[in-house]
A and B are shown apart, each in its own frame.
Chain A
Amino acid sequence: MTLDSRIPSGPIEQKWDRCKFELKLVNPANKRKFHIIVVGTGLAGGSAAASLGELGYNVKAFCFQDSPRRAHSIAAQGGINAAKNYQNDGDSIYRLFYDTIKGGDFRAREANVYRLAQISVNIIDQCVAQGVPFAREYGGLLANRSFGGAQVSRTFYARGQTGQQLLLGCYQALERQVDAGRVLMFPRTEMLDLIVINGKARGIVTRNLITGKIESHLADAVILATGGYGNVYYLSTNAKGSNATAIWRAYKRGALMANPCFTQIHPTCIPVSGDYQSKLTLMSESLRNDGRIWVPLKKGDKRPPTEIPEEERDYYLERKYPSFGNLVPRDVASRAAKAVCDEGRGVGETGLGVYLDFSDAIRRLGRKTIEERYGNLFEMYERITGEDPYKTPMRIFPAIHYTMGGLWVDYHLMSTIPGLFVLGEANFSDHGANRLGASALMQGLADGYFIIPYTLGDYLANTKLEKVDDSHSAVKDAEREVTVRIQKLLSIKGKRSVDSFHRELGKLVWDYCGMARNAKGLQYAMGKIAELAEEFYHNVNVVGDGNELNQSLEKAGRVADFFELAQLMCRDALERNESCGGHFREEFQTPEGEALRDDENYCHVAAWEYKGEGQSPVLHKEPLRFEYVHLTQRSYK
């Protein structure tokens, strides 16, 4: 298989315009003859479904939550980047492009990233027009703040709830199309398989989560916007329901999975407090604008933070990275936190934590300003920990937050299965080996509002789509396979709960394929995961049955897929003999402990092809070329 990324020719700043002009169009009267399936209603899926409905397509949209408004994009706190240069501080499309390529440690496609930076400005316009209440200055114009990995202020925000406000804008646009009859919404419905007919994606098999009914939905194209797979780690900042089943089923039907080992550890989360813990809570990266990160200079210093004098504190990010300081990218900040904790200088009961201290900022700006900027985050912190961050520093520790890997897509956002498009976090495309803060919202909305409406039309106009109906053998087979899988999970009736397996799997992946990896550990983890999966299929206990709301059954299906995905993540991590961005292989580091890339051998996208049960997946490489941003070792010093 050759991977054709379909990157348009010409200078980088003209590629997208040229592509848009060359794309074939579907005339308005014909659009309503096409049926499109969109799975997931977060920023990517919701904006795609709404925009395609506006264009006149017949859209069916699916989400497992009880309402499209609850997709996990809603939890994004800090903001959304756009190269508006409203601050007159030297920002430009080119700089946003440059920062994103560099932040991603040179493992993303230049052409895709440039397009993302171009579109970023349209996103802000669209959201403002929808009524998203972005923060404003007294003159009535939009406010900005700075974020990790950048030296300009280009982040737009709505207090600490930017994701919520962007998602609600997109949800309202979606509901407008529901009311207009152009989008049919299926909440509490989970996609369990992809239907491929004559090599093209033609539909999905779903389970109605209330009645348990298995159904097929056919269409002319399928769009997956189902988010990332961070919950493979069990403890993550993802919502409890976030899962990889949709993309994993697509992988098993022939879509390639790219860079699965590129996972992002977010540096500022509330530390784990006990083994009952069900999830980790993020504290927005924007806090690093005003908070200073430190640990005691001495090992095992158990004094309360307020009693540790200034000269006995180590503001290690400011010390190691004087020009970016507390605003280094996420992977760098996370690893630095791990390093000081490994040295025994971590804080809190477990020793797995560092301080994020606002006392200087409160002294400088006053409590009121800090309250205005971060009030809701401070409240959230206090609710969870019982400590008041206005008085005592927050304790934070890195946690899994985002997955840069995902299904491989070309410049048109189409996977290796024709007619299967993948948007947002579910694809691998724009963030390389590390995503910069405030870029996930940007990418989700770029894909959904401004890319798929163009590229989908080109596919439909260029493709001969045969008539298919429910009686097709591919439909029947997919339905049967789904039913068999469900029956199997229900029939085991073993001794252990689904969660107990998930927790154990998560610990393995976190310990061996988390913040730092090495060959020995990865090989060990692959063996252990296989053993655990084996036990799962003999000893899991899924109580209840399949024809009703059964949350254990939902979880069981997702965890079964996580086992397989975890194996592929470890395999990919083992194969990539270099460190880059979030993928840190202990064998490959500079004398200062920074990630050491190997551009000669690994400057490529690793895309894995499923070859069947019990067979090893096959690796395909898409070489990455850097014509505009020259390959250099990242430096934030």
Chain B
Amino acid sequence: MKLILHIWRQKNQASPGKMVRYEVEANEHMSFLEMLDVLNENLIAKGEEPVAFDHDCREGICGSCGFMINGVAHGPLPNTTVCQLHMRHFKSGDELYLEPWRAAAFPVIKDLVVDRSAFDRIIAAGGYISVATGSAPDGNAIPVRKQDADLAMDAAQCIGCGACVAACPNASASLFMAAKITHLGLLPQGQPERKERVLKMVAAANRELFGSCTNIGECEAVCPKGIRMEFIGRMNRDYLNASFTYQEEKEMAGVG
């Protein structure tokens, strides 16, 4: 099959970018990234710079890859990262526009590669349970309801790819944060820091210039791991509760 690609080329963060047209011969068994590998091999043979794109595991789990294909994060197939998208879902003659994630919090580094370190800083702000190595009780000391563990796992599957931000008209990181807050908030181990966690993570997201959630739902539609929007509701509930009670509880608490 023959494809026409229009790819965003940008040398670095300081230079302006533009769309460049390419043609490439592919076959239906290739993954989308393998099709780009073929394009890159052709470019190298001509002495041109290959298209830079992030990728690593190519199994849909590391969260490295991702760009817009015709305006849709990770392309047309639901629940699929671009590395797991295969060319059998396209047909010869298709014209595809590839662009990097676009968000103020994700500056473009080169071509389709963006800087997502803001996600790391949100996790660093509070997306964890504080448990120093060696201090844990026996794994079965605290039973966890299977329903809670399963739902926590649903949320914990987030791969941090950033598609939710790229798809959101507000460039909100709500789905990403909600996934972590839901995962840890459902487990008994996550309770002691539950209020602090949501307040700190939301504050961090605001500092990073992510927008707010207005319940549009584009995030859920593109999430390759099927993270559900209802988790944002859980986060908002935690946030509201914490906003009203956390400060007061802190003041009422002992001096430590």
Chain A interfacial positions (CB closer than 8 Å to B): 47, 50-51, 54, 65-70, 72, 74-75, 84, 86, 122, 124-131, 133-142, 158-159, 161, 164-165, 168, 171-173, 175-176, 178-179, 185, 187, 210, 239-241, 273-274, 276-279, 281-282, 379-380, 383-384, 386, 449-450, 453, 495, 497, 499-500, 541, 543-544, 548-549, 551-552
Return 29 A-B CB contacts under 8 Å, by A number. Answer: A51-B133, A65-B62, A67-B160, A70-B64, A72-B56, A72-B57, A129-B129, A130-B131, A131-B128, A136-B144, A136-B145, A136-B150, A142-B139, A158-B156, A159-B153, A172-B128, A185-B120, A187-B117, A239-B58, A274-B27, A276-B37, A278-B37, A282-B59, A380-B84, A499-B37, A541-B44, A541-B47, A543-B44, A543-B49
Our pick among B27, B117, B156, B184 for the contact of A276 (Cβ within 8 Å) is B27
Total chain B interface residues with beta-carbon distance under 8 A? 80
| B-side interface mostly | loop
* B247 → A minimal CB distance (Å): 21
On whether the beta carbons of A133 and B84 are closer than 8 Å, the reply is: no
* A270 → B minimal CB distance (Å): 10
Q: Which of B108-116, B207-215, B236-244 contacts A (4 or more CB under 8 A)?
A: B108-116
Known: A278-B37, A279-B58. A176 touches B130 (CB 8 A): yes
On whether the beta carbons of A172 and B116 are closer than 8 Å, the reply is: no
For A159, the chain B residues whose CB sits under 8 A away are 153
Which 10 A-B pairs have CB atoms at the shortest separation, nearest pair first?
A140-B143, A129-B136, A172-B128, A175-B124, A179-B124, A125-B136, A133-B153, A239-B56, A51-B133, A128-B139
On whether the beta carbons of B123 and A125 are closer than 8 Å, the reply is: no
Contact with A along B83-122 (1 / 0, CB 8 A): 0111010000000000000000000011001011101100
On whether the beta carbons of B189 and A131 are closer than 8 Å, the reply is: yes
Q: Which of B1-9, B28-36, B166-174 contacts A (4 or more CB under 8 A)?
A: B28-36
Known: A75-B57, A86-B140, A126-B136. A178 touches B62 (CB 8 A): no
For A127, the chain B residues whose CB sits under 8 A away are 139
The complex places the Cα of A544 from the Cα of B149 at a distance, in Å, of 49
Our pick among B109, B117, B150, B189 for the contact of A67 (Cβ within 8 Å) is B117
For A129, the chain B residues whose CB sits under 8 A away are 129, 131, 135-137, 189
Chain B, 21-71, CB within 8 A of any chain A CB: 27, 29-31, 33-34, 37-38, 41, 43-45, 47-50, 52, 54-64
Is residue B146 contacting chain A, with contact meaning CB distance below 8 A? yes
On whether the beta carbons of B34 and A548 are closer than 8 Å, the reply is: no
On whether the beta carbons of A75 and B129 are closer than 8 Å, the reply is: no
Known: A274-B30, A500-B41, A549-B12. A133 touches B56 (CB 8 A): no
For B80, the chain A residues whose CB sits under 8 A away are 383
Our pick among B79, B88, B117, B153 for the contact of A66 (Cβ within 8 Å) is B117
On whether the beta carbons of B189 and A158 are closer than 8 Å, the reply is: no
Among A51, A274, A497, A500, the most chain B Cβ lie within 10 Å of the Cβ of A497
Known: A130-B131, A133-B156, A176-B130. A84 touches B56 (CB 8 A): no
For A239, the chain B residues whose CB sits under 8 A away are 56-58, 62
* B132 → A minimal CB distance (Å): 5
On whether the beta carbons of B60 and A380 are closer than 8 Å, the reply is: yes
- Minimum CB distance partner of B77 in chain A: A383
* B29 → A minimal CB distance (Å): 5
Our pick among B109, B131, B144, B183 for the contact of A549 (Cβ within 8 Å) is B109
Our pick among A65, A69, A84 for the contact of B139 (Cβ within 8 Å) is A84
* B134 → A minimal CB distance (Å): 7
Is residue B206 contacting chain A, with contact meaning CB distance below 8 A? no
On whether the beta carbons of A281 and B59 are closer than 8 Å, the reply is: yes
On whether the beta carbons of B183 and A133 are closer than 8 Å, the reply is: yes
For A69, the chain B residues whose CB sits under 8 A away are 63, 120, 123, 160
On whether the beta carbons of B145 and A66 are closer than 8 Å, the reply is: no
* A67 → B minimal CB distance (Å): 5
- Minimum CB distance partner of B35 in chain A: A276
Is residue B187 contacting chain A, with contact meaning CB distance below 8 A? yes
Is residue B199 contacting chain A, with contact meaning CB distance below 8 A? no
On whether the beta carbons of A126 and B134 are closer than 8 Å, the reply is: yes
